[in-house]
């Protein structure tokens, strides 16, 4: 029996031709669940075409609509990940185009345990431990109604009813982590050991759900300051990082998260790579930002300078203060660029290193890479916004102001 109410509407069943998916399809027929079938042929195994023909014939014998994706499958990188995307793109298209309820996938208890043990071995903090009975993928409902059944129970189901099924020859390849875990750990488990592991997974998911709700509230309320972060327990801190990274589509192992956690808890200010972003503090709060890149704008006249537009600074008419200076024709061409190592400006009290200005004014590290300086035709720094201009460009009636746009 399938322990879910799936009697409403028509469902798509993912059918590979293996014992699990053939058992699922047959159970749906037995219980009067309206279904269509979807088969994907990657043409990566010798028996692939035979499997496709069998699935087509089985469906035809029971008057089941059968959709097949059989065009050449080309991919880059990891085959399993690419194949999964290929498969679920197909499922999503069929569900949407035919107004189906969703797709039924034949993952069973062994898959659940294998997935969990893989997660533990890789040291990751997942979105969900093991496999979730129902979720949304590519905008459609994905339901796994067989998670309470073992692989052996489904095999016996097929054999008792004389249902032919195919066995994937790559399942014996120990170079795949899942196969090794299955053969070395899951297949030898007693029913008691299985029950204990399933209970452990449920408990971890309950704890994860509670923690995620609590940490999510901090993020939504805009309260995730470094101070609050450091006051949390380690598991809460790691969950906070998981949520921050997931917003940008990034996933880190547990060890990777701990490295980031060490940076945050031991440094009061930091910019650390999380490619293609950087993890940093903005107004004391944790943030993932685009990394600072060097920039440089050159202009030949005062009018051009006043019209200059940039995401890093704005230019205005001169107003007395620490953003203003007076320039003359002899200063051009003038360059407005990002700060470089060794930059210094001549003030009334002597030379001032721009780096020292950042330290004295407690300018956050993330802001320093975007901070502009204005240089004259000789390449000398004549203005550091927020500090002031050099002695030769000071005036009570300045003709231009340059203001940085990175908020501190």
Strand pairing class (10-14; 103-104): parallel
For the whole model, what pTM was predicted?
0.77
DSSP conformation class of 183: I
Stretches where the chain sits below pLDDT 50 are: none
Residue 370 burial by Cβ neighbours in a 10 Å radius (0-12, 13-18, 19+): buried
Q: So what's the pLDDT on residue 130?
A: 97
pLDDT of 3: 54
Structure tokens at 327: 């320039």
> Which string of DSSP letters, residue by residue, matches 94-109?
HHHHTT-S-EE---BH
**How far is CA 6 from each of CA 33, 62, 145, rounded to the nearest angstrom?**
6, 19, 9
pLDDT digits (tens, 9 = 90+) for 48-79: 999 999 999 999 999 999 999 999 988 888 88
Distance between CA atoms of residues 83 and 10, nearest Å: 25
Buried b (16+ CB within 10 A) or exposed e, 183-193: eeebeeeeeee
Q: Check residue 363 and give its pLDDT.
A: 94
pLDDT for res 286: 96
Q: For position 2, what pLDDT does the model report?
A: 64
Write down the H helix ranges in 293-353: 302-307
Predicted pLDDT at 45: 87
Which residues pair with residue 324 across a beta bridge? 401
Question: Which region, left, alpha or beta, applies to residue 16 given φ > 0 means left and ψ of -120 to 50 means alpha?
Answer: alpha
Burial degree of 234 (CB within 10 A; 0-12, 13-18, 19+): exposed
pLDDT of residue 277: 97
Query: In CATH, what class is 10-189?
Result: alpha beta
C-alpha to C-alpha distance for 359 and 367, rounded to whole angstroms: 12
């Amino acid at each position: 029996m399938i322990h879910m109410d799936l009697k409403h509407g028509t469902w798509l069943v993912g059918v590979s031709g293996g014992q699990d998916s053939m058992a699922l399809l047959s159970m749906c027929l037995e219980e009067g669940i309206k279904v269509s079938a979807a088969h994907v042929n990657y043409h990566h195994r010798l028996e692939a075409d035979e499997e496709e023909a069998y699935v087509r014939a089985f469906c035809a014998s029971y008057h089941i609509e059968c959709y097949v994706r059989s065009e050449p499958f080309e991919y880059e990188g990891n085959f399993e990940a690419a194949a999964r995307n290929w498969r679920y793109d197909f499922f999503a298209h069929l569900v949407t185009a035919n107004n189906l309820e969703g797709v039924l996938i034949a993952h069973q208890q062994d898959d659940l345990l294998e997935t969990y043990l893989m997660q533990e071995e890789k040291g990751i903090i997942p979105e969900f431990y093991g496999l979730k009975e129902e979720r949304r993928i590519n905008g459609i409902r994905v339901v796994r109604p067989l998670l309470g059944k073992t692989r052996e129970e489904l095999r016996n189901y097929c054999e008792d009813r004389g249902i032919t099924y195919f066995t994937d020859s790559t399942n014996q390849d120990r170079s795949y982590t899942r196969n090794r875990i299955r053969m070395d750990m899951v297949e030898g488990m007693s029913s008691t050991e299985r029950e204990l592991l399933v209970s452990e997974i449920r408990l971890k998911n309950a704890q994860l759900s509670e923690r995620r709700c609590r940490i999510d509230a901090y993020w939504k309320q805009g309260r995730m300051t470094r101070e609050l972060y450091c006051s949390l327990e380690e598991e809460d801190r790691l969950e906070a990082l998981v949520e921050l990274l997931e917003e940008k589509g990034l996933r880190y192992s547990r060890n990777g998260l701990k490295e980031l956690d060490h940076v945050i808890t031991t440094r009061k200010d930091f910019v650390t790579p999380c490619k293609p972003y950087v993890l940093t503090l903005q107004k004391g709060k944790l943030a993932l930002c685009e990394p600072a890149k060097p920039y440089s704008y050159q202009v030949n006249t005062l009018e051009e300078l006043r019209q200059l537009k940039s995401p890093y600074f704005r230019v205005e008419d001169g107003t007395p203060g620490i953003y203003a200076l007076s320039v003359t024709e002899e200063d051009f061409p003038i360059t407005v660029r990002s700060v470089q190592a060794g930059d210094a400006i001549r003030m009334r009290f002597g030379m001032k290193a721009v780096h020292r200005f950042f330290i004295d004014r407690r300018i956050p590290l993330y802001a320093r890479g975007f901070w502009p300086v204005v240089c004259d035709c000789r390449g000398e720094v004549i203005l550091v916004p927020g500090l002031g201009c050099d002695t030769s460009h000071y005036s009570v009636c300045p003709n231009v102001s340059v203001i940085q746009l990175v908020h501190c």
